[in-house]
Amino acid sequence: MIAVAISGGVDSAFTAWLLSRRNRVFLLHALFVPGEPDLERPHRLAEFLRLPLKIVDLRRPFEEKIIRYFREAYARGLTPNPCVLCNREIKFGLLLKEALRLGAERLATGHYARVRYHPDLNRYLLYKGRDPAKDQSYFLHQLSQEALARVLFPLGDYLKEEVIREAVRIGLFPLTAPESQEVCFIRGDYRELFRGLDFPPGEIVTVDGRVVGRHRGLYAYTVGQRRGLGLRLGKPYYVVRLDPRRNRVIVGEKKHLLVRSFLVGGVNFIYPVEPGKPFRAEVRIRYRHREAPAEVRPWGPGVYRVIWEKPQRAVTPGQFAVFYQGELVLGGGEILPEEDDAQD
């Protein structure tokens, strides 16, 4: 028995149709976002597919684990990626447990990624999806072996255009929602989540120490940001760093965004690397970043330093760095803040 997590979008709907042709399947629709749910679309899909539908209410743990994490990360001067944590803790944590409790042996989703079992290593390995424009392996790099052993990603071998074409052919497409937004609990400007919270204004300071303006609260800024700074300095300035200890936004020219090395903590390795040894990888520092070659060195308990071959732009604490070797995901972890005088 396979449980298919459906959001109402075309990818999960097509996944359910695909698997139901040869397997016993039921649908799972999870409620994540606080507020009154709209269940019309999942019910219509279940009726069309002639599959049983179960609703799982995960709104409280989602708010406690994901939305709280999002707010607290900004309070610490970080720019979080809630989707990575949601996949580990909620979708392939609590929702997977609920699927198993309901009698499923596997949980399938519409993610564009691939999982393969490697008998020599006795491990499940994660690979990029076939469609480079839709590959979602970046968001899945924190999954445990226990989760990878139970998940199915049938769309990993599909191109998005193939999914849409087939969904249209079988009549699914009109029943599904448009492409989902990246952060499901945000409607409009993410800054609205912080309205009324204690984020005091402070100084905007250049990398050489000049006070050039005032910011409205650290939550409203992220590394690499250019617009909305309210500066008139005769040339473009960008957010280079957030300093929560001094409640400052540090700005500089474009060249100041280039980073030679950075630290990563909380690393989860899907592919085993030799303990205590440096290794080479292509490293992606955000979802739409093109991986760049680097050396990854052990730096402390659970911490690694990534040293680029060529400096990269806007490495952002709170985001995740994911290590690849070709299509294979080695693992990854959270980008850590460090002091100005950190050495390579």
Contact (CB, 8 A) for 51 and 15: no
Nearest C-alpha neighbor of 107 from the set 58, 152, 142: 152
Token pair recorded at residue 214? 């005032």
Backbone angle region of 51, left / alpha / beta, with phi > 0 → left and psi within -120 to 50 → alpha: beta
Which residues, including other chains, have CB under 8 Å from residue 145's CB and lie 6 or more apart?
123, 124, 270
Token pair recorded at residue 97? 């447990």
Which residue in this structure is represented by tokens 């309901």?
102
Catalytic-labelled residue, pool 31, 184, 207, 212: 184
Q: Is 83 a catalytic residue?
A: no
Nearest C-alpha neighbor of 111 from the set 137, 143, 133, 92: 137
86-98 burial, b for 16+ CB within 10 Å, e for fewer? bbbbbbbbbbbeb
Half-sphere exposure in the Cβ direction for 294 (13 Å, CA): 26
- How many helices (H) and strands (E) the chain has is answered by 8, 17
Give the other-Cβ count within 10 Å of 52's Cβ. 11
| Pairing of the two strands 320-325 and 303-313 | unpaired
Task: Determine the Cα–Cα distance for residues 101 and 53; give it in Å rounded to an integer.
Answer: 15
Catalytic-labelled residue, pool 67, 86, 263, 328: 86
Phi, psi of 218, deg, nearest 5? -60, -25
Contact (CB, 8 A) for 4 and 28: yes
Contact (CB, 8 A) for 334 and 315: no
First to last CA, the chain: 51
Task: Determine the Cα–Cα distance for residues 74 and 80; give it in Å rounded to an integer.
Answer: 7
Positions annotated as catalytic residues are 86, 184
